Structures are given as C-alpha cells and as structure tokens.
Amino acid sequence: MNNIHGVVFIMIKNPLLFFHMNRFLAFERGAVRIYESFAKAIKDEEIKKYMEKFADIEYTHVQFWEKEIIKRGGKPTTKIADIAVFGTSLISTGVSKTGLLNMLRLGYYSEEIAVRDYSYFVTLWRKKYPQLADKIWQIASDEELHGIWQKEKLYELLGINPGKYRT
Ligand SMILES: [Fe+2]
Ligand SMILES: [Fe+2]
C-alpha cells in the first residue's frame, strides 16, 4: 500500500475524528480572530494586553490542530464556518463600556463552549487516542483560564464581588 492509499484508508477509517479535528481547528482560528479584534478595539491597556496574549495562545492551538491533522494523514480545512463573524461585528461597539462588557461576555461564553466541546471529545476518544486526549486536556485548561479571567473582569467592571459567591 503506498502513501496515498494509506491516507485514503485513514480518512475512511476515521471520518468522525477528522471532522472533530477540523472543527476544533476552525474554532481555534475563530478564537484568534476574535481576540485580535478585541485587542484592536479595546482601549484599556490591561485588558488589551490580555486579549493579545489570548490571541497568541489560541494561535498555538491552531498550530497544534494543523500539525495533528497532517500527522494523521488528513488535510486542514477552512470549509467549516468559523465564529469570527461574531467578534468582528462587535468592533464598532468596542469603545463603549457596553461594547467592552459584551466582548468579555462573548469571550467567556465561547471559552465555556470550547471547554465543553473538548471535554466531550476526550470522553469520546480517550480510550482510542490517549495521547491526543492528554494534549486536549492541556488545551482545555488554557480555555478554562481564558474564560475565568474574562468572567472575573466582567464581575469587576460590573461592580460585583465574586468573593461573595465563593465558599
Ligand atoms: Fe484555544
Ligand atoms: Fe481560549
């Protein structure tokens, strides 16, 4: 069996795995664009720096999925619609406080979705792809931290004391 047939064999054998990996790739590309657009729109220096940092981290996730898909004989695709459209639609409102709060809300919710999706993937594929599942836990913990930071910042800006809700 030559290489080409090998690739076809893998693709046919694991279409769902490649579907998931490309979906994660699209999601991570969207995350880079969202945080880049937030960083551009936000005036507050501290929040801007965090958004730039988040965009850099999301880019390492993009690189991970691109390499992983290629390594497993697939082709990274951009066909799946990404979520950047939500991020760019907020740019115009980004300078106002409401715009900033909405950005943080969107960032927080999209990170929650990422954690949920990655957790689902790990549950589904842990036995078959243990190394991949381990790496995904690392990525998911990045997403969790991004989400927590934005939630805390949201509380701070809204004047809510999160300590009140902690035991
Ligand atoms: Fe990410
Ligand atoms: Fe993230």
In the chain the domains, ranked by start, together with CATH numbers, are 3-161 (1.20.1260.10)
Q: Ligand 1 centre and the CA of 127: distance in Å?
A: 23
Q: Ligand 1 centre and the CA of 146: distance in Å?
A: 9
Q: How many Å apart are CA 46 and CA 62, to the nearest integer?
A: 25
Q: Ligand 1 centre and the CA of 3: distance in Å?
A: 31
Q: Is the pLDDT of residue 11 over 50?
A: no
pLDDT digits (tens, 9 = 90+) for 110-144: 999 999 999 999 999 999 999 999 999 999 999 99
Count of Cβ atoms closer than 10 Å to residue 87 Cβ: 24
Is the overall model pTM greater than 0.75, yes or no? yes
Q: How many Å apart are CA 153 and CA 128, to the nearest integer?
A: 39
Q: Ligand 2 centre and the CA of 81: distance in Å?
A: 18
Q: Ligand 1 centre and the CA of 116: distance in Å?
A: 12
